[in-house]
Amino acid sequence: MAGHDLESLWEAHCRYEFETRDVDATMATMVAEPYVNHIPTMTGGVGHDELKRFYKYHFIGANPPDFRLTPVSRTISADRLVDEFVVHFTHTTEIDWMLPGIAPTGREVSVPTVAIVQFREGKLIHEHIYWDQASVLVQIGKLDPEGLPIVGADAARKVMDKTLPSNTLMKEIWQRSAGKPI
């Protein structure tokens, strides 16, 4: 994709989605038949009309007012961009794409997220968006983490601060290897 600034295009696309909340401007950054798939919930759309409907009624403008992204890392190749970021919000509105059918709980959520974006001829072709749905459900009080290997908001904190402890879910197991040769 020589001659195309993928990073600027992606940043404009995200600005239209989350800041100006402009559906038409968002769609203008994409090819004629794009697709988006939020992997944990399989929400998004395939093709212009389905994706525009999704953006208009279930995504852009439907996020809580305090919804924000904190960048962590970005990798860019000739036709792909991989963005790692933390999504933060207070669950004050229905969030169809992430929590379909779940009424607002008023709880704060922070979740590490990865976007894999493909481009063609200076436009977005598709987005695959990944996050840990179990950690989101724990944070809004819909899943009890007791006895499960789920860390909730600690995952986002660890992504942002590498000095936080590792292996907290495997304390006893971790101790079994203490003092063994490495």
The reply to whether 179 falls in a domain is: no
* Residue 3's pLDDT band (cuts 50, 70, 90): low
The mean per-residue pLDDT over the stretch 123-129 comes to: 98
The reply to whether 181 falls in a domain is: no
The mean per-residue pLDDT over the stretch 51-73 comes to: 96
CA of residue 129 relative to chain centroid, distance: 5
Evaluate if residue 163 carries a pLDDT over 50.
yes
* Residue 132's pLDDT band (cuts 50, 70, 90): very high
Q: How many domains does the chain have?
A: 1
Q: 23-37, 109-123, 164-178 — which is least confidently predicted?
A: 164-178
Residue type for position 138: V
* Residue 171's pLDDT band (cuts 50, 70, 90): confident
Cβ partners under 8 Å of residue 167, min gap 6: 174
Domain encompassing residue 94: 6-170
The mean per-residue pLDDT over the stretch 40-68 comes to: 96
Evaluate if residue 149 carries a pLDDT over 90.
yes
Entry pTM: 0.91
Using alpha carbons, list the distances in angstroms from residue 32 to 3, 50, 57, 82, 99: 20, 12, 20, 22, 28
CATH number at residue 45: 3.10.450.50
The reply to whether 175 falls in a domain is: no
The reply to whether 95 falls in a domain is: yes
Span 91-104, pLDDT tens digits: 999 999 999 999 99
* Residue 4's pLDDT band (cuts 50, 70, 90): confident
The reply to whether 182 falls in a domain is: no
pLDDT value of position 1: 44
The reply to whether 177 falls in a domain is: no
pLDDT value of position 104: 98
More confident residue, 4 or 176: 176
Strand ranges in the chain using DSSP code E only, listed in sequence order: 30-38, 43-46, 68-76, 80-90, 108-120, 123-131
